[in-house]
Every structure is written in structure tokens, then in C-alpha cells.
Amino acid sequence: MRILGLDPGYGRTGWGVVEYLPKGNPDRQLQALEFGVMETASADSLSVRLYELQRGIQDIIARYTPEAALMERLFFNQSTTTAAGVYQAQGVLLAALGAAEIECLELTPGQIKQAVTGSGRAGKSAVMDMVCRLLNIKAPIRPDDAADALAAAIAGVHTVRSRKLMQTMRGPQ
């Protein structure tokens, strides 16, 4: 199972693809296939930046064919200008995922932290440490947007696996 994690932004969007290997070594069932950021130039118009983001996510989807995606549920209480751009970027990502018929799940930051560390109140460094351990990555993941996307992908693996288990337990409907 491959899950795409996304940390949306119109200047920089973090992304990471995590694969779950159920028959592998129990300590290494999660593997980061690739991660990074899609960056857009601040000098470009918003429409050009959003188009570049669309092309970037379409390329990632084509390369990795994820089963599902997970994005952090956005919440802004301060800058409406920043919020508007991020929401527009999120819309582009959701549209590209929808066009590829890939379900996009959303979790709150606390739910992602809970899925990765066992605590919904874990700090950024605790989340980063656990992401590195779970994915067997030695060096710190940079930039933070990519690390956040990998955390989202790990939470996505747990969410999809839980859903499948619940469906199995319920039996055919």
C-alpha cells in the first residue's frame, strides 16, 4: 500500500510517499519511497504558481500511483492572506487527486501526532524523531515541510489499515 502525504502551501508544498510492506520485517514495514518539496517562485503570479503545483502533484501521482493521500486539516486564526493562498493550493491538490480518483483523507495536527508518536501533544522534534525511526532515515529530514508530509503519510497508512480492518470485521454488506 502506498500513501501520499501532503503539507500544502502555495510557496512550498511538502510531499512524501510511504509504502507499507505487511510481509516484511516487523521493524521495517514502513518505507519512504521519496519525499521533497514543490516550490514556486514568489515572483510568479498566483495562477502560474498554482499551475506549477498542479503539474508537480500530477507527476508525483503518475510516478507512485498512491492508494490514498492524507493532508493535514488546515486551520488559520491569524493571517487571512496566508490562509487564502494555502487554501487555494489545497484546492489544486484535491482537484488533482480527485482527477486521479485518489481519496484524500484529512486529519488534525493532533491526530497526525497521535498516529506517529502515540501522543497528540507531541512536539515537532518528537514527531521528527519518530518519523525518522519508523522510516529508518538516519539524517534529519529537511525541509520541515517534507518531514510533515511524511508524518501525514504515516498517519495515512494507519488510517487506511484501520479502515480495512474495520471493513473486514463487519463482513460483506
Active site residues: 7, 72, 145
Least Cα distance to 18 among 152, 122, 163 occurs for 152
Compute the distance between CA of residue 49 and CA of residue 28 in angstroms, rounded to an integer: 37
Compute the distance between CA of residue 67 and CA of residue 57 in angstroms, rounded to an integer: 14
> What cell was used for 113?
501526532
Contact predicate 4/32, CB 8 Å: no
Tell me the C-alpha to C-alpha distance, in Å, between residue 141 and each of 109, 110, 125. Answer: 18, 20, 11
